[in-house]
Amino acid sequence: MNTTTHITIRPLAAGDSIERLTALLHKAYATLLAQGWNFTAATQNVQTTRERVATGQAFVAERAGRLVGTVTIAPPKPADGRYLGDAVPSLYTETGTAILAQLAVHPDERGQGLAERLMDVAEQWAHGQGYRRVALDTAKPAEHLQRRYAKRGYAQVGEVQWDGKTYASVLMVKTLGEP
């Protein structure tokens, strides 16, 4: 854990390295993968990262020029579309609902509230864009993640079984204040 230099959170820029972002995701999700939970971000290729950040607004956290965290917030998916190759859950197609994904903090930076700061920025962005709710999904067996989201006001509203995943996911949603 490094607390000597300030962490800056900013929108992902066109010149940022998607390769570095993908490497950060892999490192951040490695502990979940080691538990047998094959989250997409744990092994996704650079093209998948590029596609996921292109659909919405990605934010990155930097310390001394090093990527240490990220989150992506995106608009609803088309009802007849696909999400990471799967049919889209109806929650992810609802007008007024933004989708939070790829929340990641480098293992060396955990325990400092960075994930909370990244979620704050993503939720503020969604609110500023006029979204009324933010939705996400996480592994059903990852109870610690569900508790984290519940503390932020997210409520479980359903489940989904993504193709190829070793676990079922819970769908969670949080209502935002008035824009």
67: left (phi over 0), alpha (psi -120 to 50) or beta: beta
* Domains of the chain, first to last: 7-134 (3.40.630.30)
Separation of alpha carbons 45 and 47, rounded Å: 5
**10 Å Cβ neighbour count for 141?**
17
Mean pLDDT, residues 99-105 taken together: 96
pTM: 0.91
For residues 74 and 56, the answer to whether their CB atoms sit within 8 Å is yes
- Given pLDDT bands bounded at 50, 70 and 90, which one contains residue 82? low
Chain segment 37-79, per-residue pLDDT in tens? 999 999 999 999 999 999 899 999 999 999 999 999 999 988 8
Query: Which DSSP helix (H) or strand (E) runs through 72?
Result: strand 66-74
157-170 tens-digit pLDDT:
999 988 889 999 99
Query: Residue written as tokens 């009802």?
Result: 79
